[in-house]
């Protein structure tokens, strides 16, 4: 809970008093119900008020090494505390998610927890790809943190193209062991979180060779360090990759192998197997191995919403406190939130945070439903989920990352301060554009699915729900039903998506017919393919958010329902104006209809204006989670900026020694 007892900035106080809905009702809705909200607040109290988990000095003043040591110490305290708590309340996956990847985790360990990959990649890989015997051996130890693991797939030379990975595991039937080697510099594993100095085990993805034949990439459990001394084992070349834009305490590492032997049972064999004599047994369906990646991508959509919500809470509160530049020269300076261009920077980001949240919940339910079907051997909807999770991850992380940067800029100079927390939020948001599938590559994967769907549409085949519109709009090239309503905006986006899919499909076909291979034709048509996937995803987001928020409005108070409707209106009108070029190309829209969109944008911004602060309050971020001098609940921005400046180590002495060593000699030297 925010520290409500403090003196509140009078402008923020006024904003809160004039809200037309109850912030607490939104907080319940946003956090998934009363019980979840209470649990979240309880955990915040329990962890964030622990003196052992406070930062005496802002972490930005720590050295790289100090920051890592500080973060490991905190991870230890957090896990011990969680263990004690769960002894009383029982295990809950939600608590782990909140503490490792979630908001509470970011409030405790700002630059990333070096143990997160253990929980979000190592453990899920064991769950998804180990046999029951392997799980019995490894899972209890991993779950209790008797061993700490990471997931080592990416190499110095290859991240995206995993078939190009070079690390190899050669089976030796004489000893029934695999021999791991990194034959080149580019085959060194590079990037895995926690790999450098934290983990002592890893799931390593390597090319499997047996009986002189390569069978592609497979996962192996490899011990990296001695369990007592933590020294690297013989043949293990390991270290840290260095400082990065953000996620500075995640301890990303490198790893090379020189004739490292592991027992046969360390290959994760739920899918493919190597028998004692070296015979390779193919997996039933290779698509099963994508399970872990899909799970993480689905979770990342939720993170995108959170990052954006945090940044927009900071920027909105600051914009209500900051006053600048009279609009009427005869009147006092307004709050900067009253400049309409400022509203355009803030409010669409609020709307996106809502939409991505709803999308995250939707795709999470779909993921659980489809993995349930998978367990019964039904693979039918897997490609649809894969295509959807790829483009949603790409669009939501890209928009969140650019949104956070826009919000930083919306705070002017103070947004550039580390203590605004924008640099950290941006570092985390932008990393998600690259990891777990680089965004362009993911859009191309969705596009490939769309090409198949279009080809089915051409054959009048039945299409699954998320692409059914392709069949409906297959034969028309102009959308003439525009009436400006949100349902018609959604139809217009679907129509545009269908046209972009058609154009991309025709480009690929034309190039193929002129002699290019399928792959070359797809590369040459890559711009159109990614554009098609992009608009397809945006049409899906619009439709899904409209349906879900309309549905949700029925269960909320009329006052909150109005807010949800404004969010849909803003998101859809903003989408139209942002993608106006695409719309004008395929949709019958005249000048007055475009002008109407512009007026609607201004109208909905004005409608949201009086409730903006209350809406971001409803996200219910704890001040420690926001960790921002600009965005704290009390709005005492200038006092906090001044306090933060006092913490600079340079301010601990009136004269720095460099004056005597360099500045004074310079000033006396008459250059
Ligand atoms: C913070 C962070 C944490 C990470 N954690 C882990 C981890 O725990 N474990 C792990 O194994 N890895 C991890 N990674 C690595 C990550 O998964 C890869 O960086 C990611 O998959 C992208 O691969 P790449 O770096 O090889 O980029 P590249 O594939 O080299 O991308 C560079 C450019 O080439 C383009 N490109 C590549 N292929 C194509 C194509 N087919 N078509 C069109 N364009 C293409 C991309 O769009 C991009 O613009 C992490 C990375 C980061 C940044």
Average pLDDT value for the chain: 95
Radius of gyration of the chain (CA): 27
The runs of H, that is alpha helices, within 411-525 are: 422-434, 439-458, 468-472, 486-513, 518-524
Residue 120 near ligand 1, beta carbon < 6 Å: no
Q: Of 543, 467, 299, nearest to 397 (Cα)?
A: 299
Ligand 1 mean position, distance from CA 161 (Å): 9
Question: Do residues 573 and 600 make contact, with C-beta atoms less than 8 angstroms apart?
Answer: yes
State if residue 92 touches ligand 1 by the CB under 6 angstroms criterion: no
pLDDT digits (tens, 9 = 90+) for 442-453: 999 999 999 999
Query: For a substitution probing ligand 1, which of 159, 164, 220 has the most ligand atoms within 8 Å of its CB?
Result: 159
Instruction: Show Cβ contacts of residue 368 under 8 Å, excluding neighbours closer than 6 positions.
Output: none
The pLDDT tens digits for 87-145 are: 888 888 888 888 887 899 999 999 999 999 999 899 989 998 999 999 999 999 999 99
ipTM of the complex, rounded to two decimals: 0.98
Cβ–Cβ < 8 Å for 281, 275? yes
Q: Atom of ligand 1 at shortest distance to CA of 247?
A: 1
- Ligand 1 near 154 CB (within 6 A): yes
Query: What is the mean pLDDT for each group of 10 consecutive residues in the chain (671 residues)?
Result: 69 98 98 95 95 91 97 96 89 83 91 95 92 97 96 97 96 98 98 98 98 97 98 98 97 98 97 96 69 77 96 98 94 96 98 97 88 78 90 98 98 98 98 96 98 97 95 95 96 98 98 98 98 98 96 96 98 98 96 98 98 98 97 98 97 98 96 83
Contact 261, 177 (CB under 8 A): yes
Q: Going by CA atoms, what residue is nearest to atom 9 of ligand 1? A: 192
Q: Report the atom number in ligand 1 closest to the C-alpha of 246.
A: 1
Q: In angstroms, what is the span from residue 191 Cα to ligand 1's centroid?
A: 10
Annotated binding site for FAD: 154, 193
444 lines ligand 1 (CB under 6 A): yes
Ligand 1, atom 8, residue with closest C-alpha = 192
Residue 205: phi and psi, rounded to 5, are -95, 120
H runs (alpha helix) in 278-338? 291-321
CA dihedral 34, 37, 42, 45 (to 10 degrees): -140
Calculate the CA 406 to chain-centre distance.
17
Tens digit of each residue's pLDDT (9 = 90 or more) over 37-87: 999 999 999 999 999 999 888 999 999 999 999 999 999 999 999 999 988
Nearest atom, ligand 1, residue 437 CA: 21
- Beta bridge partner(s), residue 189: 155, 255
Catalytic one of 166, 177, 436, 528: 436
Residue 257's DSSP bridge partners are 236
Beta carbons within 8 Å of 416's beta carbon, 6+ residues apart: 408, 422
Distance 422 CA to ligand 1 centre (A): 24
CATH 2.40.110.10 fits 142-284, yes or no: yes
Look up 436 and say whether it is catalytic. Answer: yes
Domain boundaries, the chain: 142-284, 439-618
Counting from 1 in the atom list of ligand 1, the atom nearest the Cα of 205 is: 11
Rounded Cα–Cα distance for residues 297 and 294 (Å): 5
Q: Which atom of ligand 1 is nearest to the CA of 152?
A: 11
Q: Decide: 122 in ligand 1 pocket, CB within 6 A.
A: no
Output the pLDDT for position 317: 98
- Give the tokens for residue 113: 């927890």
Q: Find residue 221's DSSP bridge partners.
A: 203
Phi/psi for 145 (5° steps) reads 60, 25
Substitution candidate for ligand 1 out of 246, 252, 438 with most atoms within 8 A of CB: 438
pLDDT of residue 286: 54
Contact 204, 222 (CB under 8 A): yes
Dihedral over Cα of 387, 579, 549, 30: its sign: positive
CA distance 620 to 26: 9
Q: Is residue 357 within 8 Å of residue 549, measured between CB atoms? A: no
Pocket test for ligand 1, best of 122, 125, 434 (most atoms within 8 A of CB): 434
Is 439-618 a domain of CATH 1.20.140.10? Answer: yes
Q: Is 443 in the pocket of ligand 1 (CB under 6 A)?
A: no
pTM of the model: 0.96
The residue contributing the CA closest to ligand 1 atom 33 is 438
């Amino acid at each position: 809970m925010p520290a409500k007892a403090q003196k509140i900035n009078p402008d923020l106080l006024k904003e809160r008093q004039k809200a037309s809905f109850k912030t607490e009702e939104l907080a319940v809705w946003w956090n998934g119900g009363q019980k979840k909200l209470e649990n979240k607040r309880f955990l915040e109290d329990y962890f964030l008020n622990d003196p052992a988990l406070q930062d005496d000095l802002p972490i930005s003043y720590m050295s790289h090494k100090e920051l890592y040591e500080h973060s490991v110490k905190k991870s230890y305290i957090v896990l011990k505390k969680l263990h004690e708590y769960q002894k009383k309340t029982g295990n809950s996956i939600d608590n782990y998610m909140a503490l490792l990847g979630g908001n509470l985790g970011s409030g405790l360990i700002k630059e990333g927890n070096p143990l997160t990959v253990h929980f979000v990649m190592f453990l899920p890989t064991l769950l998804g790809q180990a046999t029951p015997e392997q799980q019995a051996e490894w899972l209890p130890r991993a779950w209790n943190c008797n061993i700490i693991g990471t997931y080592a797939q990416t190499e110095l030379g290859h991240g995206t193209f995993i078939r190009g990975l070079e690390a190899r595991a050669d089976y030796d039937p004489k000893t029934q062991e695999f021999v791991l080697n990194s034959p080149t510099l580019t085959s060194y594993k590079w990037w895995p979180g926690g790999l450098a100095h934290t983990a002592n085990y890893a799931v390593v993805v390597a090319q499997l060779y047996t009986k002189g034949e390569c069978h592609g990439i497979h996962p192996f459990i490899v011990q990296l360090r001695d369990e007592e001394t933590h020294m690297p084992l013989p043949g293990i070349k390991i270290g840290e990759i260095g400082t990065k834009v953000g996620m500075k305490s995640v301890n990303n590492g490198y790893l090379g192998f020189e004739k490292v032997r592991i027992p046969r049972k360390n290959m994760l064999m739920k899918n493919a197997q190597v028998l004692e004599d070296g015979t390779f047994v193919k997996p039933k369906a290779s698509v099963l191995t994508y399970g872990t990646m899909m799970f993480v991508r689905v979770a990342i959509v939720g993170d995108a919403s959170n990052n954006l919500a945090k940044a927009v809470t900071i920027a909105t509160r600051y914009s209500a406190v900051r006053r600048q530049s009279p609009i009427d020269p005869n009147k006092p300076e307004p709050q900067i939130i009253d400049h309409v261009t400022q509203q355009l920077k803030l409010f669409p980001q609020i709307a996106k945070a809502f939409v991505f949240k709803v999308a995250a919940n939707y795709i999470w339910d779909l993921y659980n439903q489809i993995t349930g079907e998978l367990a019964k051997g039904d693979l039918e909807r897997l490609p649809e989920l894969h295509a959807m999770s790829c483009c949603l991850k790409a669009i939501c992380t890209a928009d969140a990352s650019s949104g956070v940067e826009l919000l930083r800029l919306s705070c002017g100079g103070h947004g550039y301060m580390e203590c605004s927390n924008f640099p950290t939020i941006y570092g985390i948001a932008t990393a998600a554009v690259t990891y777990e599938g680089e965004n362009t590559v993911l859009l191309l994967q969705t596009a490939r699915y769309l090409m198949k769907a279009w080809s089915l549409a051409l054959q009048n085949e039945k299409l699954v729900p998320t692409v059914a519109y392709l069949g409906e709009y297959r034969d028309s090239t102009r959308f003439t039903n525009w009436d400006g309503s949100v349902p018609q905006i959604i139809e217009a986006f679907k129509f545009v998506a269908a046209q972009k899919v058609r154009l991309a499909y025709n480009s690929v076909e034309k190039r193929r017919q002129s002699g290019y291979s399928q792959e070359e034709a797809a590369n040459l048509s890559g711009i159109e393919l990614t554009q098609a996937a992009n608009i397809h995803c945006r049409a899906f987001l619009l439709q899904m958010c409209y349906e879900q928020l309309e549905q949700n409005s029925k269960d909320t108070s009329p006052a909150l329902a109005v807010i949800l409707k404004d969010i849909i209106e803003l998101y859809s009108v903003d989408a139209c104006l942002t993608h106006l070029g695409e719309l004008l190309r395929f949709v019958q829209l005249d000048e007055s209809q475009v002008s109407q969109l512009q007026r609607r944008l201004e109208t909905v911004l004005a409608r949201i204006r009086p409730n903006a602060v209350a809406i971001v309050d409803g996200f219910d971020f704890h001040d420690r989670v926001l960790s921002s001098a600009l965005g704290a609940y009390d709005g005492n921005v200038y006092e906090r900026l001044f306090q933060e400046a006092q913490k600079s180590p340079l301010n601990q002495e009136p004269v720095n020694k460099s004056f005597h060593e360099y500045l004074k000699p310079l000033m006396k030297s008459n250059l």
